[in-house]
Amino acid sequence: MRSKQDIREFISRRSNSSSIKMLRSEAFIAGQKFIGHFGDYESFLVYLDHRRELATGRLITNLLSMGRSVYVPIVSGDTLKCAPYNGANRQKMHLNQFGIWEPVEGIVDIDVDVIVVPCVACDASGNRIGYGKGYYDRALRNFKGITVCLAYSFQVMDSLEDIVEPHDVTMNYILTDKKIYGGMDLAC
């Protein structure tokens, strides 16, 4: 039986064999598809990518230029909080203990319409595997809005049903440059 760690190592090898140019292209296309399908909502919590997660910089810039409210996550103890992000406050950021950029101040308690979640791997049923700390699973446990996991095509596995656990929160949508899984299973 495979484990979450086996999947993480497999995806890491796939990611490392992918060119930066290809990853940037897929991130751009996925961002455009996101705007096309979810851009009418007003408020978003969007992760700031690190390692080789699907890049969100252009997506955030596009949402801000559309007048949308954008928040980014902040790790606080064993929970995720959020802070408003406007692009101009980038100078008031620091690297947290995981090497992820986050605001130094400005934590707010707000309900957003859409939470954009990173993954290491996912499947068409909305299952996702992260880095194993459970921050997003805890944050999403009682969330009533829309969850969208952004992923590169190579991160989508046939099925993760055999390794997801009861605490793993299923996404409403998985969005890649090629397809949106979930909801109406929209081909792109």
Q: pLDDT exceeding 90 applies to what percent of the chain?
A: 61
Question: Which is more confidently placed, 52 or 113?
Answer: 113
The confidence score (pLDDT) of residue 188 equals 41
The answer to whether residues 174 and 156 touch, using CB atoms and an 8 Å cutoff, is yes
CA distance linking residue 150 with residue 61, whole number of Å:
16
| CATH class of the 4-182 domain in this structure | alpha beta
pLDDT at residue 33 tops 70: yes
In the chain, % helix, strand, coil (3-state, to 5) comes to: 30, 25, 45
Give the integer Cα–Cα distance in Å for 153 and 171.
Answer: 16
pLDDT at 66 over 50: yes
Would you say residue 47 has pLDDT above 90? yes
Q: Which two tokens stand for residue 167?
A: 């605490």
Provide the 10 A C-beta neighbour count for residue 154.
18
Say if residue 7's pLDDT is above 60. yes
Where do we find the tokens 């190592």?
A: 9
Predicted local confidence at residue 132, as pLDDT: 79
- The pLDDT tens digits of the residues spanning 72-100 come to 999 888 888 899 998 776 668 888 888 88
Q: Does the pLDDT of residue 35 top 90, yes or no?
A: yes
Question: Average pLDDT of the chain?
Answer: 89
99-139 confidence digits (pLDDT tens): 888 888 788 888 999 999 999 999 999 999 998 788 999 99
Q: For the residues 158-172, what does the mean pLDDT come to?
A: 93
What is the mean predicted confidence (pLDDT) over 140-149? 94
What residues contact 112, with CB distance under 8 A and at least 6 apart?
43, 44, 45, 69, 71, 82, 145
Q: What is the pLDDT of residue 89?
A: 65
